[in-house]
């Protein structure tokens, strides 16, 4: 899906004013992070992956950088879009993810999970977006981004826990002066997916350059792009078979315990006291397209949910960014920055419904036809059919007119209902996030070659999810307990009897209005942090080197807090197709850390040793969990690079990294939710041919009699039960990498890097 954009750019700064427009559709461009060349401009470059502020020291770990010019060329609207095409990054949740998007965008380095990396701004952490500790990329102020550095590999020694797969560091523009206004208007080649972005940035130097302030405001808005609007995505494709797939919850309705041919076992008692043997397959029948009867086989029409789903989620954001610095004296500079954003992401998925829920239906339900009632009663008297009838013909006929539960002839059947609520429309979740993160600090020089930096920060994020378009399972059950079309047997909440026995379209607006209700879940997070570093060089070089031995020492404190507050409806798990209950969660933890790092240029400017540098680092962390026991971790790294001649560099690294358990993993109560499972190991004949597999299937709840007749879940989703544990300790990771970088002088502008990890 190509996107075309028109952009008007207006700048007023040191350079001449520019007014232009462009029509752009281009791929991502990545390059090595700026190093020594930038130092010639007189600025100290903080190279991602090290605490040592020295631009002349080459790095031993691969860093990929994307600059502001490349971001402008690509017309990126969110930070997640910048990262999509960088090597080492796999697709994660972002604007192109609909089902499963919680209103945020994340990054996933090396495919190890979006909770195993850290996102930074100017080398500093920001408040996470949710209980899993992940930062929302939607809060990055793109207008102020100078470059994006991506470091893959264990970086816990430099940045602390969670950096098992690496870090993404957004470096902002420093000393911005002037006015910059950007307006972008984008459409797909099908003239949909309208996207508008506008930013205004104002900055100024003052007091003869001793101070600088910058302020930026922005707005973004995007329209949805539906999968049903493209021929290649109008029908879902099963990722296992490559064939057209869909959901097991379809329209018209599907029921269990239905017998139309006498081929299925539907009652207790079969196989006992001389009764015929039980058939292994329960009756599973779908209502015919015209309604009023059941199909004669267990086959059913899968539901094509693709047309309702979307490629591009609707998005609206307001953001502000402000920063300032001032040299109080030649030795001390104070600085500060603040970020605020408010964004709303809407996810739209196929209609709700009754997703395989157990219901009780009176045989006098007014919407049951005679043929359907007979199938539930299953009073076929053909000799040797292999089942026992649930009710006799006389009982079934008498129950059809018994409208009161007190009538001796009143009868009910228990069945499992699967019915897609196509008459209701899609399920919509609006996620509104309010985010701020503030930082203040001071830095200066101890000597000409040793600096100090002390800063503190605090941030909060609040995400409010509002769900609409969901059936309530309890109300479906209540609405089926009816013996007339006007009132339910239990008439609370204005109950309207439900017709799930007819064709698609049989459910009225009044029935849907009773079955639905909005729900809300609020997630809050906070992060308070203080850190200080001393870095520089010893003024002493190796006997065979020219650059001094460099070092950094520091300490850090962080305190995390998070909570999930759900309304009673969300806590109940009553929403049909919501994936389970959303229980209340509240917890936090804090950590004290000390760390150090050295870089040793051993040999420089010698034959076959243009540069040989080694580096090492170590970090000690002491964790304290609210209401639980504490623990400590130690991470370390060693690395080196060798440049035999100009234009070629070899590098290698080995590191020990950790990931601390997040608040969800520590504090979430035990809960049953949905997880994906298209292929059940216990399905089919496999467990009957493997004793070990059979034992596992039985341990997970199957009976010995069921082995061999278990089927794969037609919806590809099963229940999963899990929760947090205050006794959890950290994950531990060992990683190493080798690489080579080529920048031959004979090919100006050409560079090639190859890395193995």
Regarding whether 716 and 584 lie in a shared domain, the answer is: no
pLDDT at site 52: 67
Let me know if residue 148 belongs to a domain: yes
Q: Which two tokens stand for residue 543?
A: 């006997």
Let me know if residue 537 belongs to a domain. Answer: yes
CA 313 to CA 283: how far, in whole Å? 40
| Cβ-contact 444, 332 below 8 angstroms | yes
Check the CA dihedral 75-77-82-84 and report its sign: negative
Q: For the whole model, what pTM was predicted?
A: 0.84
Verify that 554 and 698 share a domain, yes or no: no
- Contacts of residue 158, Cβ cutoff 8 Å, sequence gap at least 6: 49, 50, 51, 167, 595, 597, 617, 619, 637
Residue 407: inside a domain, yes or no? no
Q: Are strands 752-756 and 124-125 parallel, antiparallel or unpaired?
A: unpaired
DSSP letters of 34-52?
P-HHHHTTTPPP--TT-S-
- Burial of 357: CB neighbours in 10 Å, binned 0-12, 13-18, 19+: middle
- Asked if residue 157 lies in contact with residue 655, where contact means CB atoms within 8 angstroms, the answer is yes
Co-location of 743 and 685 in the same domain: no
Domain membership of residue 255 (yes or no) is no
Q: Which helix (H) or strand (E) holds 39?
A: helix 36-39
Burial of 692 (0-12, 13-18, 19+ CB in 10 A): exposed
Flag whether 598 is in a domain: yes
Residue 692, C-beta contacts closer than 8 angstroms, at least 6 positions apart: none
Q: What are phi and psi of 156, to 5 degrees?
A: -65, -30
Strands (E), 628-685: 631-645, 648-659, 671-676
Helix, strand or coil for residue 284?
Answer: strand
CA distances from 639 to 88, 340, 345 (A): 20, 38, 42
How far from 376 is each of 281, 502, 592, 741, CA to CA, in Å? 16, 15, 65, 72
- The pLDDT value recorded for residue 241 is 64
How many separate domains does the chain show?
A: 3
Same domain, 51 and 167: yes
Sequence-distant (6+) residues with CB within 8 A of 543 are none
Do 175 and 37 fall within a single domain?
Answer: yes
- Asked whether residue 638 falls in the same domain as residue 692, the answer is no
Supply the pLDDT for residue 389.
67
Does 599 share its domain with 710? no
- For the stretch 58-101, pLDDT in tens is 456 667 778 788 777 777 777 888 887 777 788 777 676 777 77
A 10 A CB-CB count for 142 gives: 24
Question: What is the structure's pLDDT at 706?
Answer: 86
- ω into 284 cis (within 30 of 0): no
Cα–Cα distance measured from residue 5 to residue 665, given in angstroms and rounded to the nearest whole number:
42
Structural domain span for residue 8? 3-206+309-323
691 and 585, same domain (yes or no): no
pLDDT of residue 509: 96
Give the rounded distance of the alpha carbon of 266 from its chain centre.
42
Residue where a domain terminates, one of 292, 323, 354: 323
Domain holding 191: CATH number? 2.170.130.10
Question: Looking at the domain assignment, is residue 32 inside a domain?
Answer: yes
689 and 660, same structural domain?
no
- Confidence at residue 23, expressed as pLDDT on a 0 to 100 scale: 29
Same structural domain, 104 and 175: yes
Structure tokens at 341: 């954003």
Are 47 and 151 members of one domain? yes
Per the domain annotation, does 395 fall within a domain?
no
Question: Cα–Cα distance between 75 and 744 in angstroms, integer?
Answer: 31
| Residues lower than pLDDT 50 in the chain | 1-45, 54-58, 263-268, 279-281, 380-386
Domain membership of residue 93 (yes or no) is yes
Any residues with CB less than 8 A from the CB of 485 and at least 6 apart, and which?
366, 367, 497
Angle at 520 between CA 519 and CA 522, to 5 degrees: 165
Same domain, 600 and 695: no
């Amino acid at each position: 899906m190509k996107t075309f954009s028109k952009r008007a750019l207006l700048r007023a700064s040191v350079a001449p004013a520019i007014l232009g427009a462009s029509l752009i559709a281009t791929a991502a461009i990545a390059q090595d992070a700026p190093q020594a060349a930038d130092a010639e401009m007189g600025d100290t470059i903080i190279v991602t992956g090290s605490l040592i502020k020295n631009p002349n020291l080459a790095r031993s770990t691969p860093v990929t950088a994307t600059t502001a010019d490349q971001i402008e060329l690509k017309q990126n609207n969110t930070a997640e879009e910048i990262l999509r095409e960088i090597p080492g990054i796999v697709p994660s949740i972002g604007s192109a993810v609909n089902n499963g998007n919680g209103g945020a965008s994340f990054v996933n380095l090396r495919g190890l999970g979006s909770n195993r990396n850290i996102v930074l701004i100017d080398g500093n952490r920001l408040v996470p977006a949710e209980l899993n500790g992940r930062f929302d990329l939607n809060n990055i102020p793109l207008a102020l981004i100078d470059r994006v550095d991506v470091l893959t590999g264990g970086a816990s020694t430099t940045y602390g826990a969670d950096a098992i797969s690496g870090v993404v560091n957004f470096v902002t523009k420093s000393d911005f002066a002037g006015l910059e206004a950007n307006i972008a208007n984008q459409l797909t080649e099908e003239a949909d997916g309208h996207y508008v972005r506008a930013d205004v940035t104002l900055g100024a130097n003052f007091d003869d350059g001793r101070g600088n302030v910058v302020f930026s405001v922005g707005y973004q808005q995007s329209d949805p792009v539906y999968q049903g609007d493209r021929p290649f995505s109008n029908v879902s494709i099963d990722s296992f078979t490559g064939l057209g797939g869909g959901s097991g919850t379809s329209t018209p309705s599907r029921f269990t315990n239905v017998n139309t041919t006498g081929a299925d076992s539907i009652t207790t008692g079969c196989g006992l006291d001389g009764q015929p043997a039980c058939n292994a397959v329960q009756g599973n029948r779908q209502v015919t397209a015209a309604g009023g009867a059941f199909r004669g086989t267990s086959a059913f029409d899968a539901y094509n949910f693709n047309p309702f789903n979307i490629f591009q989620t609707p998005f609206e954001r307001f953001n502000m960014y402000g920063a300032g610095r001032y040299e109080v004296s030649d030795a001390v500079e104070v600085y500060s920055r603040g970020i605020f954003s408010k964004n709303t992401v809407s996810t739209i998925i196929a209609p709700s419904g009754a997703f395989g829920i157990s219901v009780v239906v009176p045989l006098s339900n007014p919407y049951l036809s005679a043929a359907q009632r007979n199938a539930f009663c299953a009073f076929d008297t053909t000799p040797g059919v292999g089942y026992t009838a649930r009710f006799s013909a006389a009982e079934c006929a008498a129950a059809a007119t018994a409208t009161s539960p007190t009538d001796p002839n009143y009868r009910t059947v228990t069945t499992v209902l699967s019915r897609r609520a196509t008459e209701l429309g899609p399920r919509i979740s609006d996620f509104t996030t309010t985010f701020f993160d503030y930082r203040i600090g001071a830095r200066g020089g101890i000597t000409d070659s040793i600096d100090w930096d002390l800063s503190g920060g605090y941030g909060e994020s609040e995400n409010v999810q509002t769900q609409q378009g969901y059936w309530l399972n309890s109300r479906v059950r209540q609405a089926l307990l009816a013996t007339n079309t006007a009132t339910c047997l239990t008439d609370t909440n204005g109950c309207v009897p439900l017709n799930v026995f007819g064709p698609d379209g049989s459910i009225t607006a009044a029935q849907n209005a009773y079955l639905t209700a909005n729900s809300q879940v609020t997630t809050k997070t906070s992060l308070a942090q203080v850190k200080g570093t001393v870095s520089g060089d010893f003024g002493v070089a190796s006997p065979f080197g020219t650059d001094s031995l460099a070092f950094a020492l520091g300490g850090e404190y962080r305190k995390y807090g998070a909570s999930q507050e759900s309304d009673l409806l969300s806590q109940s798990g009553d929403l049909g197709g919501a994936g389970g209950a959303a229980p209340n969660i509240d917890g936090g933890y804090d950590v004290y850390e000390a760390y150090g790092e050295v870089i040793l240029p051993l040999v420089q400017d010698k034959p076959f040793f243009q540069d040989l540098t080694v580096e090492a680092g170590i970090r000690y962390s002491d964790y304290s969990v609210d209401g639980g026991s504490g623990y400590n971790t130690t991470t370390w790294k060693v690395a080196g690079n060798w440049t035999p001649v100009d234009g070629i560099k070899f590098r290698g690294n080995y590191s020990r990294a950790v990931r601390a358990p997040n608040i969800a993993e520590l504090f979430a109560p035990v809960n049953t939710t949905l997880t994906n499972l298209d292929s059940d190991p216990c399905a089919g004949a496999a467990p009957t041919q493997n004793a070990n597999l059979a034992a596992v299937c039985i341990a997970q709840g199957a009976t010995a009699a069921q082995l061999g007749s278990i089927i794969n879940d037609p919806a590809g989703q099963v229940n999963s039960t899990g929760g947090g544990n205050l006794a959890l300790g950290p994950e531990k990771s060992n990683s190493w990498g080798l690489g080579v970088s080529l920048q031959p002088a004979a090919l100006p502008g050409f560079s090639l890097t190859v890395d193995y990890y």
